[in-house]
Amino acid sequence: MDAVSEAIVGTKPNDAWLDIERIFRAHYARLARVIAKVVRDPARAEELAVEVCLRWSVSRKAEGENAERWLYRAAVQTSLNELRRQTRRSRYERLVSFVRRSPTPEELLATRQEQELVRLVLASIEPRQAELLVLRGQGCSYEELAATLNLNRASVGTLLSRAQHAFRKEYMRRYGTRRLEAK
């Protein structure tokens, strides 16, 4: 046993602040290296090494000869917990990115401009065709379209196709083919 280990054996976790400092100075660098090998992030490893040292100061199981063993076991457990936390976080972030990703200001502007172009085209085609397109765009079924607009259920498909054709024709007349193809 070396001099540092002998000093640790004689310390108790609830002794003075000097004992914590002595443990910290003796083991911090090695704890940080052990943790860094697992988490592969030296900065995070240093933070976790400090946490291990602080937990040592309040642990009753880390008294006497168990202190050094406890520190390194705690370092390994802490680094494994960090890996689990990182894995969980990345899984949740991937899931959330599919569900809700904040649009950039440029995307918001482009969306607003495109919506305005669509509104202008809808205002310029026949009202019944515009109604059909808007309701269908909101997810209404053919039955719902027929009931809402007092149409024959059998003619909804044909009327919807004509409305789409009229919209496409007016859009291309106003804004050209480049804008329509970009979609």
Q: How do residues 60-94 score in pLDDT, each as one tens digit?
A: 777 777 788 889 999 999 999 999 999 999 988 88
- The closest alpha carbon to 86, from 50, 39, 31, 47, belongs to 39
Q: Which two tokens stand for residue 117?
A: 């172009």
- The closest alpha carbon to 45, from 29, 32, 31, belongs to 32
What are the mean pLDDT values of the chain's consecutive 10-residue runs (183 residues total)? Answer: 48 56 89 93 94 85 77 92 93 77 87 92 94 91 91 94 95 77 51
Per-residue confidence (pLDDT) for residue 4, from 0 to 100: 43
Q: Are residues 23 and 109 in the same domain?
A: no
Q: DSSP string covering the chain, please?
A: --HHHHHHHT--TTS-HHHHHHHHHHHHHHHHHHHHHHH--HHHHHHHHHHHHHHHHH-STT-TTHHHHHHHHHHHHHHHHHHHHHHHHHHHHHHHHHH--PPPHHHHHHHHHHHHHHHHHHHHS-HHHHHHHHHHHTT--HHHHHHHTT--GGGHHHHHHHHHHHHHHHHHHHHHHHHHHH-
- Cα 149 vs. chain centroid, distance in angstroms? 43
Among residues 66, 99, 132, which one ends one of the domains? 99
Give, in degrees to the nearest 5, the angle at Cα 157 between 154 and 159: 100
Domain range for residue 55? Answer: 3-99
Per-residue confidence (pLDDT) for residue 67, from 0 to 100: 81
Per-residue confidence (pLDDT) for residue 18, from 0 to 100: 60
Q: Are 171 and 182 in contact (CB under 8 A)?
A: no
Among residues 99, 131, 146, which one ends one of the domains? 99
Among residues 99, 127, 153, which one ends one of the domains? 99
Q: Which two tokens stand for residue 81?
A: 């917990």
Q: Are residues 27 and 92 in the same domain?
A: yes
Number of separate domains in the chain: 2
